[in-house]
Structure 1
């Protein structure tokens, strides 16, 4: 019996959400369909993929290994169904600047695809802070940037949002707050808080906390997303971070859950930036068109290259 994409998607949803009922809601299907798909997968694989516990579904060792394969298969299918039609004959050099979060959690798969789609295009990557990126774009040191556009205020730059990543509360498995559908700043302020500082995350966080009468009880500030992940997973505190950097497991294999925040918390916007009025070269247009097609944005052009 062969494995279907439907089974893989049901398995991934259950692994990420930790409960068959939540996976069914997220997928808009019945719980029995999810249960059946998982049982079929376990029969095909010949191993238990989950441990059934009173609190939900925990991945076994085999389940974690299978999850990594499932992610890879679904990623390849997504690539195959979102083929880029911009001419692969584009050649030249493109200097791309990116911030820490973007280069770590957003860009790698796109860089891989771009290099396969445009084999004659040399991509030069630079990891920098936002201020250095803005200065580099204005002085033509970099052609374009991929960064958190929600942090850019410089009117001399043009930005184009590609995606918005919702920010949610991260908590360890079986945390009491998981009994609620959503939480507010009042409940979060009662918990020890881990404050991420990289990519102006602390500044962004304090902006939305400042609209509230409550303040986070910060016990640690760190520039490491992995440190936040491990501390939260091990019950040392909670954090509000975006879905883009969320992973359901820490390095130690402990689960990290997310909860919706009902108080206003802006999403983290990721997108492109370039110097306002810049003449687009074919490599610049190829990059922009690739992302426009990938994220189904308006203004997609096929093989022709024109100045915006």
Structure 2
């Protein structure tokens, strides 16, 4: 049985949404079509890619490895089918600002691909916080930015989300919540909690905690994602963070599992921001079009 592009797309959608029903809605197809495609894919690769749980579809270790390859396959296909949308002869300088999380977990691969696509384009990249990005865009110090678009509220800026990364509960291997039929904020509130603060993560998490009847028992507030990873892996607490920053192993080599959360938790949205009504230069247009193509966003004229 051969592997198909359809199977890969259905697999990626299910991995990102964590639910076959949500993936089916996003793909505008039936749930049975998604289920059949994933079963066929697992037969083709010879391993289970998901654990089926009452909370949804959780990636296995092999599933996470396959997801990385799936993203690369889809990106290569997308590059091949959009070769002539923007000329590779574009040249000039583009000043890009990005936040800490985006620099560390999202942007480097894309910058490398953009440089291959547009070898004459010089990208000047700066890591700054959201407030500085907003001020810098309005002052024309930065042409465009890559950041957590869900944090932008300034009406003088325009945003375009490329990726919505699902937030899940991080727990150490063997944790009792892995055996629960349902896990929500009520159960999480009973555990010691590791609160990430970088890129306004604490503010984002308190927004959904405040809408519930529960509050996290915060053991530690830290700006280090690696500290969260190690604390969770060593059984000192749990955390709610996005799939984009998840890695299954801590620096000590201990495993971190993820659990779907029953309560509504907003995803972490990552994308572009620029000054509203700005006239796009060719470098800005090329940069934006790259992300539109990479994430199958509808193209627009700027």
Output the CA distance in 2 between the equivalents of 1:109 and 1:275: 25
Alignment RMSD (CA, Å): 2.9
1:29 to 2:39 alignment: yes
Deviating above 4 A after TM superposition, structure 1's stretches of 4 or more consecutive aligned residues are: 24-27, 70-76
Measure, in 2, the Cα distance between the counterparts of 1:228 and 1:181. Answer: 25
1:196 paired with 2:196, answer yes
Which structure has the larger Rg?
Answer: 1
Alpha carbons 1:98, 1:128 under 8 Å: kept: yes
Q: 2: CA distance between counterparts of 1:150 and 1:172? A: 28
Residue of structure 1 equivalent to 2:87: 87
Corresponding residue of 2:133: 133
**Kindly tell me: are residues 214 and 94 of structure 1, through their superposed partners in 2, closer, same or farther at Cα, counting changes over 3 Å?**
same
TM-score for the superposition, normalised by structure 2: 0.78
Residue aligning to 1:272:
272
CA shift at 1:79, angstroms?
A: 3.3
Aligned to 1:250: 250
- What is the alpha-carbon distance in structure 2 between the residues aligned to residue 206 and residue 26 of structure 1? 39
* Structure 2 SS opposite 1:163: strand
Residue 47 of structure 1 aligns with which residue? none
Q: Counterparts in 2 of 1:151-170, with a 5 A limit?
A: 151-170=151-170
Shift of 1:196: 0.1
Which residues of structure 2 form unaligned runs of 5+? Answer: 16-33, 49-58
Counterpart in the other structure of 2:73: 77
Gaps of 5+ in 1: 17-23, 40-56, 301-305
Q: Deviations over 1:160-199 (max 9, x none)?
A: 1111111111001111111124311111011000000000
Give the whole-Å Cα distance in 1 for the aligned partners of 2:207 and 2:299: 33
How many equivalent pairs are there?
A: 260
Change (3 A) 1:181 1:88: farther
Deviation at 1:273, TM superposition (A): 0.4
Q: Identify the residue that residue 228 of structure 1 maps to in structure 2.
A: 228
Cα distance change on mapping 1:160 and 1:76 into 2, 3 Å? closer
Is 1:172 the equivalent of 2:172?
yes
Per-residue deviation at 1:292? Answer: 0.7
